[in-house]
Amino acid sequence: MLITDIILMAGLPASGKSQFVQKYKDLGYVILSLDAKTMSYASDTATLEREINKRNKVVIDNTNTVALNRKVFIDFAKRNNLTIGIHHMNTSKDDCLINSLHRVYKRHGQVFMHFSDIPSGIKSERKNFVISAIFSMDKNFDKINKSEGFDQVEVTKFERQENWGYTNKAVFIDLDGTVRESTGSEKYPLEINDISILKNSADVLKKYKGYGYKIIAITNQSGVSKKVLTSQKVVELIEHTNKLLDNVIDDYYFCPHSPKDVCYCRKPQSGMGVLMMHKHQLDLKQSIMIGDSTSDKTFADRLGIKFFNPSLFFDR
């Protein structure tokens, strides 16, 4: 822990800064939050100066990712003969994205995959839909150096909570190119007659279901955003796919968004995995992901799920 007069917290949104802010508060520091608009980077150091004049030690709680913004507080400290340190939550972009999903689920019992999914009455979540900010800040994060003028620098790696006490396990499956293929004009079926089940799909999944695995389909369905499918049609096609698989699928979720859209659900994003993890109380370390694309493998890697290519898993 830092022991300077002024401490800057630094890190991407959802990087775990709040847990350390509380630790500093317990040590007697006054917390000033830029997010709460108690002060601004540009010129308003009046709040900071007021607390310092009271002989309080202060934590500036914000992302503080830009060196030029950090310099405002460093210069203030030097002018007033104060020590200043920075506590960097060096949490990866992927961990921040997953952490933000867990936070929303714990607060609301659901995951808001897209900004449009958030009810207007939940203003806090509309304000803190941070996926775009995480990507942007990660790309433009100015490396933190003691040479900026800090007296102390502390770096903490966020530890993702791995043990939620869940004991169930699942086989997550992609659909198109994994358990089914389209005989129609598109790579994905547009009508139920387009669906052809790939070799060994039903038999292998039924075997794993017998081993106690839940079978959960998670699929990107950008045909909805292209207006060649409706969400209702996607549901019909998944339900018919399940019928052809002898109803082995226990649950499913699909992303209707375009690759250019900003959402938590489109693989390789982790939204569908986090949602199903909590909904079915899954231990992801015991679970498996089967998919035919790089996005499926990245999805699995981010969540710590063992990945298999369908040709190997289904012995094709």
Q: What is the average pLDDT score of the chain?
A: 92
**Cα distance between residue 191 and residue 234, in whole Å:** 9
pLDDT (tens digit, 9 = 90+) per residue, 188-219? 999 999 999 999 999 999 999 999 999 999 99
Task: Assess whether 174 carries a catalytic annotation.
Answer: yes
**Which domains does the chain show, CATH number per domain?**
6-156 (3.40.50.300), 169-313 (3.40.50.1000)
Query: Are the CB atoms for 201 and 179 separated by under 8 Å?
Result: yes
Q: What's the whole-model pTM score?
A: 0.88
Does the pLDDT of residue 44 top 60, yes or no?
Answer: no
pLDDT in tens, 139-170: 999 999 999 999 999 999 877 777 789 999 99
For residue 49, the model assigns a pLDDT of 76
Name which residue leads in pLDDT, 193 or 37: 193
User: Quick one: average pLDDT of 38-51?
Assistant: 61
Given the residues 5, 95, 174, 296, select the one marked as catalytic: 174
Lowest average pLDDT, out of 35-49, 154-168, 273-287, 298-312, goes to 35-49
Pairing of strands 58-61, 213-220: unpaired
pLDDT at 36 (0 to 100): 47
> Quick check: is 315 catalytic?
no
Q: What is the pLDDT of residue 19?
A: 84
pLDDT score at 229:
95
Instruction: Spot the catalytic one: 61, 95, 151, 176.
Output: 176
Tell me the percentage of the chain whose pLDDT exceeds 70. Answer: 96
Over residues 90-101, the mean pLDDT reads 94
